[in-house]
Structure 1
Amino acid sequence: MPLRTPEQVRNYFAQSGVSIADWARARGFSVVLTRMVAAGQRKCLRGQSLQIAIALGMKR
């Protein structure tokens, strides 16, 4: 399965009707950090940002 780009992640949330905040809270992630990862503003090399990127399909 190919990795998602930040644009594809934003489209996913727009089409699914689930907010980024609800998605993040349901998985125990920081809402602010999830927004930053989804926008492509983080490198996501370690820690929670990496976990978020993996859950969003942006990293393996």
Structure 2
Amino acid sequence: MTPAQVKAQFAASGTPVSEWADKNGFPRESVYRVLNGYTPCKRGLPHRIAVALGIKPGVKGPHQPG
């Protein structure tokens, strides 16, 4: 899914991005930065946010168990 599609889903459902961020334990500013393309989502928190939003697939890396 693209960031634009995710934003459209938020708009269609009437769910504020800030509410989603709070419920999922992410800083609001970081979620907005990912959705607006200001932060590359290659690793760390931005990557986890992108996976949670459905923008990136959740792929297990070499340092993740299981």
When the two structures are superposed, what TM-score results if normalisation uses the length of structure 2? Answer: 0.80
Q: CA deviation at 1:39?
A: 1.2
The 4+ residue runs of structure 1 with deviation greater than 2 A are none
Identity within the alignment, % = 40
Q: Choose 1 or 2 for highest CA Rg.
A: 2
- Which residue is equivalent to 1:36? 33
Residue 21 (structure 2) pairs with residue 19 (structure 1): no
Distance of 2:36 and 2:5 partners within structure 1: 10
The alignment status of 1:54 with 2:33, answered yes or no, reads: no
Give the TM-score taking structure 1 as reference length.
0.88
Query: Number of residues paired by the alignment?
Result: 57
RMSD: 0.8
| Higher helix proportion (structure 1 or 2) | 1
The amino acid of 1:42's aligned partner reads T
> What is the DSSP-based 3-state SS (H/G/I as helix, E as strand, rest coil) of the residue aligned with 2:41?
coil
C-alpha displacement of 1:14: 0.3
State the Cα distance separating 1:55 from its structure 2 match.
0.6
Partner of 2:61: none
Kindly indicate whether structure 1 or structure 2 has the higher relative contact order, using CA contacts under 8 Å at least 6 residues apart: 1
Specify which of 3, 8, 17 is matched with residue 6 of structure 1. Answer: 3
